[in-house]
Amino acid sequence: MSPVSEQQRRYLDAMGIDVWVRRDQALPAEVAPLPESAPEPASAEGRPDVSELDWSALRQQVAGCQLCELHTSRTRTVFGVGDEQARWLIIGEAPGVDEDRQGEPFVGRAGMLLNAMLQAVGLAREQVYIANILKCRPPNNRDPRPEEAAACFPYLRRQIELIQPDLIIALGRVAAQRLLDCTTSLARLRGTVHRLEATGTPVVVTYHPAYLLRTPADKRKAWEDLLFAQSLTRDDQA
């Protein structure tokens, strides 16, 4: 592995990672078994077909969505942000209070840490696309319910189809389990390449920035996950 540059040192400092941490233990690159299916809506009845929508039409559809009860409590929908042809797609679980107010994913302290994490591997926020499993904030920041994730998944699936990313980074247990349709723990999901059933897109799982703010000791593990992800896309370029 190449030495850490001075710029990367500054970003690692922002993440709270000691630059002397050894990173010479290779993460396993074994491909996990494919999930049987991606999460699908419980019923297609009354749900619009978004499979042919372009970005503008999809954004408009999300803005007016009333497919689950979350539309009654949201301030704004949180569609997603970033490069619509990005190589990396970052997926979290759901908007928080700051995201609900601003209509943009990963703002506030968690967003600042995510920016630093990306910058540490040479990526600006504007170079990736950032979205969530849910487009509306659950009350009290609770976990998304299965029916909410099912209602929202066609929007996310269409975003994935439009972007055609080389890699998806799932942030946190909830996002990873919903995306991969599994109940596997975060510890077991990390360090392995998974595949999105609908498209075959590689998926790498790491910690959610909000969790890392509460548990800074795990930031070095998140750094290893990002290096692992970076190695996969570098291999694709070779």
* Total number of domains in the chain: 1
Using CB atoms within 10 Å of the CB of residue 176, give its burial: 0 to 12 exposed, 13 to 18 middle, 19+ buried. buried
H or E stretch including 195?
Answer: strand 194-195
Phi then psi dihedrals of residue 131, to 5 deg? -145, 180
Pairwise CA distance, residues 59 & 67, whole Å? 15
- Asked whether the beta carbons of 35 and 181 are under 8 A apart, the reply is yes
Range of the domain at 86: 6-17+24-237
**Partners of 202 in the beta sheet?**
195
Looking at residue 234, what is its pLDDT?
72
Using DSSP bridges, classify how beta strands 167-171 and 202-206 pair: parallel, antiparallel or unpaired.
parallel
Provide the CATH number for the domain around residue 68: 3.40.470.10
3-state secondary structure of 144: coil
Residue 158 domain-assigned?
yes
Instruction: Give the pLDDT confidence of 26-42 residue by residue, as tens digits.
Output: 444 444 443 433 333 33
3-state secondary structure of 185: coil
Pairwise CA distance, residues 107 & 87, whole Å? 21
For the chain, list residues with pLDDT below 70: 1-46, 235-238
pTM, full prediction: 0.82
Using DSSP bridges, classify how beta strands 129-132 and 194-195 pair: parallel, antiparallel or unpaired.
unpaired
Instruction: Give the pLDDT confidence of 56-82 residue by residue, as tens digits.
Output: 999 999 999 999 999 999 999 999 999
Beta strands in 36-176 (DSSP E): 81-82, 88-92, 129-132, 167-171
Q: Looking up tokens 């007016």, which residue turns up?
A: 64
Looking at residue 236, what is its pLDDT?
55
Looking at residue 17, what is its pLDDT?
63
